[in-house]
């Protein structure tokens, strides 16, 4: 808890006021990733491999953008930094630990942007959400990655709707998930989607007790590869149950 508190405190002054409320979610993810490093290793490897495969064969490697860069554990950041002239990392929060690691590596071609990628504010203002529209202003864009972000958009939007509710359309979550996918598919450059799309709660005997669609009925693009991510192994949230997520990669 002390380490988490220190990380929170170190990240606070580095984060814009509008996004500070999300720091604790990033710190919680950082903490769980450390506890579950062994169980998450395959998922992280598969994610990195999918991004590598999606970028393979690109004729030009000028600018790459990673949406939902997070902890960078599931992104082959060192290879992207070597291959591309500029790499832009976009997320609500960039933890102090991530900033320190990047600084220690001495990368001069990596840029950090804080941005809400959900499109919620546009929809709340009565506008058609276009959360990835800003990518049209990125010069020399050759590659975009959506890195284990899409389901988090759905969760964050649902949480915000439940808290604020007033005036938002009933299909807000579905519309904003779809807007992200439409934004990716409309890019003129190569792109890669890595996302968990469903989860299952499974007991010690392998019996499934609960399942849910993390994309709320919005169909994802055809997957090139799929795998299971043990988000909460036995003992993480319960001694009797584990939570597995189904992950897809598409490009």
* CATH fold label, 2-250: Rossmann fold (3.40.50)
Q: Per the structure block, which two tokens stand in for 216?
A: 């709320």
**Residue 101, CB half-sphere, CA atoms under 13 Å: how many?**
11
Count of alpha carbons within 13 angstroms of residue 172, beta-carbon side: 26
| pLDDT per residue of the chain (251 residues) written in tens, 0 to 9 | 899 999 999 999 999 999 999 999 999 999 999 999 999 999 999 999 999 999 999 999 999 999 999 999 999 999 999 999 999 999 999 999 999 999 999 999 999 999 999 999 999 888 999 999 999 999 999 999 999 999 999 999 988 888 876 678 889 999 999 999 999 999 999 999 999 999 999 999 999 999 999 999 999 999 999 999 999 999 999 999 999 999 999 99
Cα 123 to Cα 129: distance, rounded to the nearest angstrom: 6
Alpha carbon separation from 196 to 94, 137, 220, 249 (Å, rounded)? 21, 28, 10, 9
Give residue for tokens 């979550």.
Answer: 173
Q: Give the separation between CA 197 and CA 150, rounded to whole angstroms.
A: 8
pTM: 0.95
- Residues contacting 152, CB < 8 A, separation 6+: 68
How do the domains of the chain map onto residue ranges? 2-250
Give CA 128 to chain center in angstroms.
Answer: 22
């Amino acid at each position: 808890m002390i380490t988490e508190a220190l990380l929170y405190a170190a990240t606070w002054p580095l984060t814009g006021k509008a996004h500070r409320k999300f720091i604790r979610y990033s710190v919680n993810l950082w903490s769980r990733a450390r506890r579950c490093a062994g169980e998450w290793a395959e998922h992280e490897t598969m994610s990195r491999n999918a991004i590598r495969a999606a970028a393979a064969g690109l004729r030009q490697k000028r600018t790459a953008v990673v949406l939902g860069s997070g902890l960078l554990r599931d992104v082959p950041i060192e290879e992207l930094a070597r291959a591309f002239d500029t790499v832009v990392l976009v997320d609500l929060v960039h933890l102090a630990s991530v900033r320190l690691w990047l600084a220690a590596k001495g990368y001069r071609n990596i840029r950090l942007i804080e941005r809400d990628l959900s499109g919620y504010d546009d929809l709340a203002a009565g506008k058609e959400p276009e959360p990835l529209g800003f990518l049209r202003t990125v010069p020399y864009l050759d590659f975009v990655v959506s890195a284990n972000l899409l389901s988090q958009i759905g969760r964050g939007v649902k949480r915000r709707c439940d808290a604020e509710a007033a005036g938002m359309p009933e299909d807000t979550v579905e519309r904003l998930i779809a807007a992200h996918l439409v934004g990716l598919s409309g890019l003129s450059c190569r792109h890669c989607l890595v996302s968990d799309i469903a989860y299952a709660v499974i007991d010690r005997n392998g019996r499934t007790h609960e399942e849910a669609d993390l994309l709320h009925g919005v169909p994802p693009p055809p997957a090139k590869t799929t795998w299971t991510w043990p988000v909460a192994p036995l003992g993480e949230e319960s001694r009797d149950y584990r939570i597995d997520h189904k992950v897809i990669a598409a490009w």
